[in-house]
Structure 1
Amino acid sequence: MLTRPEAEPAPRPEGVSLPEMHRSVRVPDGAGWLRRLLAFIGPGYLIAVGYMDPGNWATALAGGSAFGYTLLAVALLSSLMAMLLQALCARVGIATGRDLAQLCRDRFSRPTSLGLWVLAEVAICATDLAELIGTAIALQLLFGIPLLIGVLLTALDAMLILWLQHRGVRWLEAAVAGLMFLVFGCFAAQLLLAQPDWAAVLAGYLPSASIVTDQRQLYIAIGILGATVMPHNLYLHTAIVQSRDYGEGVAAKREAIRFAAIDSSIALSLALLVNSAILITAAAVFHAGGRTEVAEIQEAHELLTPMVGTAAAATLFAVALLACGLNSTVTATLAGQAVMEGFLGLRLPPVIRRLVTRLIAIVPAVIVTWLHGESGTAQLLILSQVILCLQLPFAVVPLMLVASDRRRLGALATPGWQLWLGWAATGLIVAMNLKLLWDALAG
């Protein structure tokens, strides 16, 4: 991840996305295909983090413990849709030279643009809230730190992120990718301990009619689909792909779009493996052991040791949760910066931006943890996902409108088959999220 040199700092033009990163990674001219591809590897890992954050763990645990391996097909479908939408994000960002927030400001009226900005900020704070709670739970599971103190300690991660950001985008990408591989390693070891039925695992990736006919299966399947696309990922990806100095010609941009799509697809494949591993572990340990109601993170951690027969399983689970929580805060910070700069043209120092976002998330977490303890944080985690459900249509629909704008994209217009699949995936994801929101409001 650190083999490609950073370009020398240079004055950045006004109005670019994430100006301290813009065109900061050199793409070697005249190099072979593989070397040029390696220059583009990195942004996809920043995006993939959103698909395996603590908010995703609950649906995977619930699906695996309740229905075994059946819902692996839903996890696979979710990841395929995510790969398509993130590839469209890369195309939009590279073809237009602007991020999704800037494009929304260009396309819509000022009141509409401001409304979209408010919703995006709310979604980012909800994401940060889920990551904060997940990190605090991991600190409690690993070190016995009380939840309230753990919530307060998570504010310190801002310093680590800002230090990495100062070192350069490649350092940031390397740290995120390293933590992702740590999570993958933890669950790979956990799968060896859980000893799943691999034939049943492979069969689980094939669609089953029971997913639609069984109301409870359908509900959890909707939860898995609903947690697929994080709204801030769409804004962030259109901005972070512009960190590569890929040139200005149509041929150079076409190659950049292809390499960026490969990068995000590889990273999202790793995220699929992690989410599958969570579900497979829950199926092999809890469902096979007759514990079909496990959905809480703390409950899963508590049951792993006696049911697997070794404390290593629970430790690996907690380490992976901590890595996911720390990782996800990076993308929330960068997305917040891109959204504020894109919609408002307002540039805040990263430290101020990070502290404001974290303060908004930490205040309700501290109050609820103080008053209600673990049960309260669980409800906050659910609330954060409901907020994301509410915001998602207001990010994914603008993305598809821009991706469908052949006049704006010009020679790099989106192929028709991608548009058809993109709108179908958008419709399905939005419908699933609205169903989750309705169910949450209905109790």
Structure 2
Amino acid sequence: MKKSLDEINQSVKVPSVYETSFLQKFLAYSGPGALVAVGYMDPGNWLTSLSSGSQFKYQLLSVLLISIIIAMFMQSLAIKLGVVARQDLAQAIAQKVPKPIRYCLWILNEIAMMATDLTGVIGTAIALKLLFGLPLIFGILLTILDVLIVLLFLRFGIRRIEFIVLVAILTVGIIFGIEVFRANPAFGKIFQGVVPTSDIIHNHEKLVLSLGIMGATIMPHNLYLHSSLAQSRRYDYKDPLQVKEALRFANWDSNVHLVAAFIINALLLILGGTLFFHTNNQLASLQDVFNGLKNAAIVGKLASPVMSWLFAFALLITGLISSITSTLSGQIVMEGFLNIRLPLWQRRLLTRFVTLIPILIIGFLVNFNEQDFENLIVYAQIALSIALPFTLFPMILLTSNSKLMKEHTNNKLTTIVGLLLAGIITILNLRLIFSIL
């Protein structure tokens, strides 16, 4: 069997189980979690977090926290599959299903990868418009050039890519930290918002937004990506102690970066709740936030063009770095389900061109109206929601297979919790789809 992402598979040497400190080992294994965390901070997350804050202040922070905890659980299963079975999720599924089902799953996941790419394209184009006044159509066409950025990064090797992405995440976090600090939120009410209440289920609008947060948080491409990136570390995978340690530190890496993703999304929600909750108009677009941050009539003395610019700059960063992860995820899906390898630049161009076709068609139909474009992000979540059950259930069953996972097979409790969570997420996503449609 071909290695998953052969060019980076086992490319990063890590310390032996018998040497160095916890911190040195953590740093050696740290990186894949940063690439995965990017998927939890795309424009879909931005819109749902900001909208949740503007409508219900801090009350939906609990939903965001629960979503991240569930994501930690699911990503841990993806890590386990990669480290123990030495297969990514696409490869493992492809080996267990008949060829017709394999092709159907490939098509479904390709659509999900394109939906993921779509959010990055739109986010980047909107950021370019906000920063430089570039018309959306030109910003969209310029995203073709980000293949050059991806290729440039990949020439540095996976370790340097991980560092670049980590710096980008820290930059975005600092930007929103500054903006929230200036907004002077009510910290007591923030802590209250972290505690779940039954009102979320009974209030229809809160429920719909909660479903949106859940749908924007847990996405299939992150599971495929993590199951492959977990194999990028080079160690003796025939040594049970080394495998156990690889699982331990890969999960540390994942959880730390998912906490960072939670903090950034929480900052967005708090920003929306602090600055825009008192206004009569709920946030309908990223443009609304950009304009609001420099409008004294809306945010009072906190209004500042610098804050608006930093917001747009953070959006541009997340749009660009998402290009890296969507490229890698797309390659994993194609290689795993079809056993076809393409050079990354070809894979990137193919994905981007296929993504741009519907964007440009819809753009000309709606005269490149920004609000309609941001609505595409919402509809992209539908595609991701449809693909998610076909990713979660196979992953849980595969990691519960004793022949494949040996002593690292899921115990009964893990399997039951996994299937229960996957079932709940599926029902919630169906509810979200019906709400949107």
TM-score of the pair, normalised by structure 1: 0.94
Structure 2 CA distance, aligned partners of 1:379 and 1:301?
17
The alignment partner of 1:380 has SS state of helix
What is aligned with 1:230? 219
**Residue aligned with 1:242, SS:** coil
Deviates more, 1:379-388 or 1:85-94: 379-388
Q: Which moved more, 1:402-411 or 1:329-338?
A: 402-411
Distance 2:76 2:159 in 1: 21
* 84-93 vs 368-377, which moves further: 368-377
Which residue matches 1:395?
Answer: 391
CA distance in 2, matches of 1:401, 1:155: 38
Measured after TM superposition, the shift of residue 293 of structure 1 is 1.7
> Where does residue 265 of structure 2 map in the other structure?
275
* Counterpart Cα distance in 1 of 2:259 and 2:13: 26
Superposition pairs of residues 216-295 of structure 1, within 5 angstroms: 216-248=205-237, 249-287=239-277, 289-291=278-280, 293-295=282-284
Q: Per-residue deviation at 1:407?
A: 2.4
1:144 counterpart = 2:133: yes
* Residue 370 (structure 2) pairs with residue 383 (structure 1): no
Alpha-carbon distance in 2 for matches of 1:121, 1:269: 28
Q: Which one is further off, 411-420 or 301-310?
A: 411-420
Q: 270-279 or 150-159: which moved more?
A: 150-159
Where does 1:2-13 land on structure 2 (aligned, <5 Å)? none
1:79 Cα shift?
0.4
> For residue 339 of structure 1, what is the amino acid of its counterpart?
V
Q: 2:4 aligns with which of 11, 17, 31?
A: 17
| Larger mean Cα displacement after TM superposition, 24-33 or 233-242 | 24-33
Q: CA deviation at 1:113?
A: 1.0
What per-residue deviation string (whole Å, max 9, x for no partner) do you get for residues 141-193 of structure 1? 11111111001111111111112112210011111111111110110011012
> What is the one-letter code of the residue matched to 2:265?
N
Per-residue CA deviations over 1:99-126 (Å, capped at 9, x if unaligned) read 0000011111111111111111110001
Select 1:107's aligned residue among 92, 96, 104: 96
Match of 2:332 in 1: 338
Farther-moved stretch of structure 1 (363-372 vs 427-436): 363-372
Percent identical pairs in the alignment equals 39
User: Is 1:431 aligned to 2:427, yes or no?
Assistant: yes
Shift of 1:292: 5.2
* Counterpart amino acid of residue 25 in structure 1: V
Q: Do the aligned partners of 1:61 and 1:295 also contact (CA within 8 Å) in 2?
A: no
C-alpha separation in 2, matches of 1:195 and 1:312: 17
2:346 pairs with one of 352, 356, 362: 352
> Shift of residue 369 of structure 1?
2.5
More displaced 10-residue stretch of structure 1: 30-39 or 86-95? 30-39
Unmatched 5+ residue regions in structure 1?
A: 1-13
What does residue range 94-133 of structure 1 map to in structure 2 within 5 Å? 94-133=83-122
Partner SS, residue 121 of structure 2: helix
For 1:240 and 1:162, the matched residues in 2 are separated by: 18
Shift of 1:429: 1.5
Amino acid of the residue matched to residue 351 of structure 2? Answer: T
Say what the alpha-carbon RMSD is for the aligned residues: 1.3
> Contact (CA 8 Å) 1:88, 1:403: kept in 2 or not?
yes
CA contact (8 A) 1:126 1:387 kept: yes
The alignment partner of 1:347 has SS state of coil
Secondary structure of the 1:83 match is helix
Segment of structure 1 superposing worse, 383-392 or 93-102: 383-392
Residue 161 (1) aligns with residue 133 (2)? no
Given candidates 321, 329, 334, the residue that maps to 2:323 is 329
**For structure 2, which runs of at least 5 residues remain unmatched after alignment?**
none
* CA distance in 2: counterparts of 1:291 and 1:304, whole angstroms: 16
Matched ranges for 1:307-326 at <5 A: 307=299, 308-326=302-320
Aligned positions of 1:411-422 closer than 5 A: 411-422=407-418
How big is the shift at 1:24? 0.2
Matches within 5 A, 1:32-181: 32-181=21-170
CA contact (8 A) 1:67 1:292 kept: no
Equivalence for 1:4: none
Q: Distance in 1 between matches of 2:191 and 2:420?
A: 26
Check the 8 A contact 1:64/1:279 in 2, yes or no. yes
1:366 offset after TM fit, Å?
2.3
- CA separation in 1, counterparts of 2:376 and 2:262? 25
Counterpart contact for 1:66–1:292, Cα < 8 Å: no
* Distance in 1 (alpha carbons) for counterparts of 2:307 and 2:26: 37
Q: 1:71 Cα shift?
A: 0.1
What amino acid does structure 2 have at the position aligned with 1:24? S
- Residue by residue over 1:368-408, the C-alpha shift from the partner in whole angstroms, topping out at 9 and shown as x without a partner, is 23332223312322221111111111111111111221221
Aligned length: 427
C-alpha deviation, 1:309, in angstroms = 1.9
Question: Structure 2: how far apart are the matches of 1:228 and 1:418?
Answer: 21
After TM superposition, give the deviation of residue 231 of structure 1 in Å.
Answer: 0.8
Whole-angstrom distance in 2 between the partners of 1:375 and 1:213? 29
3-state SS in 2 of match to 1:70? coil
Letter in 2 for 1:222: L
d(CA) in 1 for partners of 2:61 and 2:280? 19
Cα separation, 1, equivalents of 2:291 and 2:171 = 21
Are 1:182 and 2:171 an aligned pair?
yes
Alignment partners' CA distance in 2, 1:77 and 1:291: 29
Given the superposition, is the C-alpha separation of residues 432 and 53 from structure 1 closer, same or farther in structure 2, using an over 3 Å criterion?
A: same
| Correspondence 1:302 to 2:283 | no
Can you list the C-alpha shifts for 1:31-63, whole angstroms capped at 9, x where unaligned?
233222211100001111111101111111111
- Superimposed CA distance per residue, residues 416-440 of structure 1 (whole angstroms, 9 cap, x where no aligned partner): 4433332232122211111111223
Deviation of 1:345 (Å)? 0.9
TM-aligned CA deviation for residue 213 of structure 1: 1.4
Q: Of residues 397, 401, 407 in structure 1, which corresponds to 2:403? A: 407
Q: CA deviation at 1:226?
A: 1.4
Q: Displacement of 1:295 after TM fit? A: 3.1
1:213 aligned to which of 202, 208, 216: 202
1:31 & 1:105 partners in 2: Cα distance? 39
- Give the conservation status (yes or no) of the 8 Å contact 1:76–1:205: yes
Deviation per CA, 1:296-341: give whole Å up to 9, x if none.
1111211121123222221121111111111211110000111111
- Identify the residue that residue 361 of structure 1 maps to in structure 2: 355
